[in-house]
Amino acid sequence: MASVNRVPGGVTAAKGYRAASCAAGIKYKGRTDMALLVSDVPAAAAAVFTSNVMKAAPVIWDRNNITSCGKVQAVVVNSGIANACTGEEGLESCRRSAEAVSAALGIPAEYVAVGSTGVIGMPLPDDRIINGINMMIPALSDSIEAGTAAARAIMTTDTVKKEFAYSFVTSDGKTVTVGGMSKGSGMIHPNMCTMLCYVTTDMAIDRALIDEALHGAVDSSFNMITVDGDTSTNDTLILMANGLAGNKEVTEKDSDYDLFREALGLLTTDLAKLMARDGEGATKRIEMRVLGADTLAHAKVLAKSVVGSNLTKAMIFGKDANCGRVLCALGYSGIEFDPAKVDLWFVDPAGDRKLLLYTGGKFTGYDEEDAVTYMEGEEVVMACDMHMGEASAVAWGCDLTYDYVKINADYRS
Amino acid sequence: MASVNRVPGGVTAAKGYRAASCAAGIKYKGRTDMALLVSDVPAAAAAVFTSNVMKAAPVIWDRNNITSCGKVQAVVVNSGIANACTGEEGLESCRRSAEAVSAALGIPAEYVAVGSTGVIGMPLPDDRIINGINMMIPALSDSIEAGTAAARAIMTTDTVKKEFAYSFVTSDGKTVTVGGMSKGSGMIHPNMCTMLCYVTTDMAIDRALIDEALHGAVDSSFNMITVDGDTSTNDTLILMANGLAGNKEVTEKDSDYDLFREALGLLTTDLAKLMARDGEGATKRIEMRVLGADTLAHAKVLAKSVVGSNLTKAMIFGKDANCGRVLCALGYSGIEFDPAKVDLWFVDPAGDRKLLLYTGGKFTGYDEEDAVTYMEGEEVVMACDMHMGEASAVAWGCDLTYDYVKINADYRS
Reported as a single tens digit per residue, the pLDDT across B29-78 is: 889 999 999 999 999 999 999 888 888 999 999 999 999 999 999 999 99
Distance from CA of B188 to the nearest CA of A (A): 9
Catalytic residue among B50, B177, B194, B226: B194
Which residues does chain A have within 8 Å of residue B52's beta carbon, measured at their own beta carbons?
328, 331-332
User: pLDDT tens for residues B252-263?
Assistant: 999 999 999 999
Neighbours of B1 (CB within 10 A): 2
Among A50, A228, A310, most B C-beta atoms within 10 A, so best to mutate, is: A310
Half-sphere exposure of A38 (CA within 13 A, CB side): 24
Which among B119, B322, B409 has the least Cβ separation from residue A119?
B322
What Cα–Cα distance (Å) separates residue A368 from each residue in A283, A326, A371?
A: 21, 15, 5
Q: For this structure, is B233 an active site residue?
A: no
A358, closest residue in chain B (CA to CA): B85
Per CB-CB distance under 8 Å, the chain A contacts of B311 are 191-192, 228, 230, 408
Residue numbers in B near A86 (CB within 8 A): 362
CA distances from A1 to A4, A81, A255 (A): 10, 47, 12
User: According to the model, what pLDDT value does residue B413 have?
Assistant: 39
At what angle are helices B310-317 and B324-331 packed, to 10 degrees?
Answer: 160
How far apart are the C-alpha atoms of B409 and A403, rounded to whole Å? 13
Nearest CA distance, A77 vs chain B (angstrom): 20
Could A87 and B232 be called an inter-chain contact, meaning their C-beta atoms sit closer than 8 Å?
A: no
The secondary structure of A179-240 as a DSSP string is: EEEEESS-SSB--TT--EEEEEE---B-HHHHHHHHHHHHHTTGGGBBSSS---S--EEEEE
Asked whether B101 and B74 are in contact (CB, 8 A), the reply is yes
For residue B268, the tally of other CB atoms under 10 A from its CB is 28
Interface test with A, best of B328, B335, B367 (most A CBs within 10 A): B328
Who contacts B59 (Cβ-Cβ below 8 Å, separation ≥6)?
B49, B50, B233, B234, B235, B236
B186: left (phi over 0), alpha (psi -120 to 50) or beta: left
Closest by alpha carbon to A360, among A327, A403, A329? Answer: A327
Q: If pLDDT is split at 50, 70 and 90, which confidence band does B186 have?
A: low
Q: Mean pLDDT lowest for which of A247-261, B237-251, B300-314?
A: B300-314
A328 vs B192: CB contact, 8 Å cut-off?
yes
What pLDDT tens digit does each residue of chain A (413 aa) get?
459 999 999 999 999 999 999 999 998 788 999 999 999 999 999 999 988 888 899 999 999 999 999 999 999 999 999 898 888 999 999 999 999 999 999 999 999 999 999 888 888 999 999 999 999 999 999 999 999 999 999 998 888 999 999 999 999 999 999 999 999 865 545 444 578 999 999 999 999 999 999 999 999 898 888 766 667 788 899 999 999 999 999 999 999 999 999 999 999 999 999 988 887 788 888 999 999 999 999 999 999 989 988 878 888 888 877 788 898 889 888 899 999 999 999 998 788 888 999 999 888 988 888 888 888 888 899 999 999 999 999 999 888 888 777 777 765 43
Give how far B31 is from chain A: nearest CA, Å: 23
Distance from CA of A305 to the nearest CA of B (A): 9
Residues in a beta bridge with A86: B362
d(CA A220, CA A300): 9
Task: Tell me: ipTM over 0.95.
Answer: no
Identify the pLDDT of residue A183.
93
Partner residue facing A339 (CB), from B53, B229, B328 = B53
Point out the catalytic residue in the list A148, A157, A177, A194: A194
- CA nearest A337 in B: which residue? B53
Q: CB burial class (10 A; 0-12, 13-18, 19+) of residue A186?
A: buried
Q: Which residues of B touch A57 (CB under 8 A)?
A: none
- What average pLDDT score do residues B354-373 get? 89
Q: How far apart are CA B236 and CA B116, in angstroms?
A: 9
Compute the distance between CA of residue A38 and CA of residue A16 in angstroms, rounded to an integer: 8
Q: Which of the residues B85, B156, B228 would you substitute to probe the A interface, choosing the one with the greatest number of A C-beta atoms within 10 Å? A: B85
* Nearest-CB residue to B311 (from A55, A230, A308): A230
Question: Which of chain A's residues have a Cβ under 8 Å away from the Cβ of B157?
Answer: none
Question: Does the pLDDT of residue B191 top 60, yes or no?
Answer: no
- Return the pLDDT at A235: 87
pLDDT, tens digit, for every residue of B315-324?
A: 888 887 778 8
Among candidates B311, B331, B411 on the partner chain, residue whose Cβ is nearest the Cβ of A54: B331
Backbone conformation region of residue B106, classed left if phi is above 0, alpha if psi is from -120 to 50, else beta:
left
Nearest one of B26, B22, B276 to B160, comparing CA atoms: B276
| Single-letter amino acid code for the residue at B140 | L
- Best CA proximity match to A144, nearest among A30, A19, A2: A19
State the average pLDDT over residues B92-102.
97
State whether residue B394 is helix, strand or coil: strand
Largest Cα–Cα distance in chain A? 69
| Whether pLDDT at B21 is above 60 | yes
Contacts of A323 in chain B (CB under 8 A): 121
Of B230, B311, B333, the CB nearest to A408: B311
Cα dist. A233→A62, B117, B286, B340 in Å?
13, 39, 22, 14
